[in-house]
Amino acid sequence: MGKILSIGDKFPEYKKTAVVSIEAGKEFAEITSEDHKDENKWMVMFWYPKDFTFVCPAEIAEFSNKNDEFEKKNTMLIGASTDSEFVHLAWKNDHPDLKDLKMPLLADTSKSLGKDLGILEAEEKIAYRATSIVDPEGKIRWASVNELSVGRNVNEVLRVLDALQTGGLTPCNWEPGQKTL
């Protein structure tokens, strides 16, 4: 694993295929590092190790369930792994919790983006459970990387996004709606 990109780093440039639907002929779309910037939006990109695994579908479904909350916060949500767009589509078609995903699943089959982010596990070269919050200018404002066996807390990602978007100082255990310092 290389250096993990962190706070203040520029999110790497990318142009990747993503699964955006299960509707025939509309399954795939190209997404790029410029999309959220062009729309003056924040971006949350969350990575998971592999399709057809046990912890991953629960996390992906939970992010999807909260997609409307991310959208209300002017934020583009993207899931990603090193599996191909065809494997993403097969998994999405196969798993009942994934059929109606509200965000794209990016395919990093070349592993170039995962490598640039420094989030690939050493042996299999699959992604750790990494999450980046990126501002509309493309700068990483929050980064979290979990061991493969540890799932994320989607509400914490939303809380941190809220805190970053206040522009103020948020104290320990701050929750949206509370005063900043």
For the annotated catalytic residues, the residue numbers are 56
CA 166 to chain centre: 21
| H or E segment to which residue 114 belongs | helix 112-117
Is the Cα dihedral 68, 70, 75, 78 positive or negative? Answer: negative
Number of Cβ within a 10 Å radius of residue 38: 9
CA 67, CA 134: separation in Å to the nearest integer?
A: 16
| H or E segment to which residue 68 belongs | helix 67-72
